[in-house]
């Protein structure tokens, strides 16, 4: 089988993200906690999260706003700045309170991906609630968290799921 094209890799990643998010919604049902969206981008995933998690506080982290106007979080739920500053601050504010994280921060720059994955891996454990689900477009090193398989039908090699203890 030939190597997938860039278009196919994007399709597979988005499909894996969509299936994983929908699976995660069921996994966190009935559990207390807030949601983190790391990387707002154009706001498509945030839009999906807020429509399916109506009663949850969703806190969005990014360097800047570059999204569709109707997908911009309100000021109370938007945390702007470099992850190196905002994630350590989040540890203090959200310690043990985050039940779902969608981390979509990867780029085509592999050196940056390694750096940001390490930063996310270092800062997430302190905020995770027991049994929290972490979805990521980059492989993370989350001590004690259990890597989980992607939902049935997901075909990406660039999407990862973890469950905190």
Structural domains in the chain plus CATH codes: 6-163 (3.40.50.150)
Closest to 158 in 3D by CA, of 119, 108, 115:
108
In degrees and rounded to multiples of 5, residue 157 shows phi and psi of: -95, 5
d(CA 47, CA 45): 5
pLDDT in tens, 15-27: 999 999 999 999 9
- Residue 66 pLDDT: 87
Task: Name residues whose C-beta falls within 8 Å of residue 65's C-beta, 6 or more positions apart in sequence.
Answer: 40, 72, 78, 80
Closest to 164 in 3D by CA, of 136, 88, 138, 107:
136
Q: Can you list the residues of the chain whose pLDDT is less than 50?
A: none
For the question of whether the overall pTM of this predicted structure is more than 0.85, the answer is yes
Residue with the two structure tokens 């499909």: 15
- Residue 38 pLDDT: 98
């Amino acid at each position: 089988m030939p190597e997938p094209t860039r278009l196919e890799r994007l399709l597979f990643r988005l499909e894996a993200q969509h299936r994983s998010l929908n699976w995660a919604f069921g996994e966190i049902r009935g559990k207390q906690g807030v949601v983190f969206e790391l990387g707002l981008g154009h706001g498509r995933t945030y839009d999906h999260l807020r429509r399916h998690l109506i009663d949850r506080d969703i806190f969005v982290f990014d360097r800047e706003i570059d999204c569709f106007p109707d997908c911009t979080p309100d000021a109370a739920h938007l945390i702007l700045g470099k992850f190196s500053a905002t994630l350590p601050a989040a540890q203090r504010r959200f310690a043990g309170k985050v039940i779902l994280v969608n981390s979509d921060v990867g780029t085509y720059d592999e050196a940056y991906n390694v750096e940001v994955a390490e930063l996310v891996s270092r800062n997430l454990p302190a905020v995770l609630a027991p049994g929290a689900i972490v979805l990521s477009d980059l492989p993370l090193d989350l001590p004690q968290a259990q890597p989980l398989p992607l939902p049935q039908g997901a075909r990406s090699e660039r999407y990862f799921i973890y469950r905190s203890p």
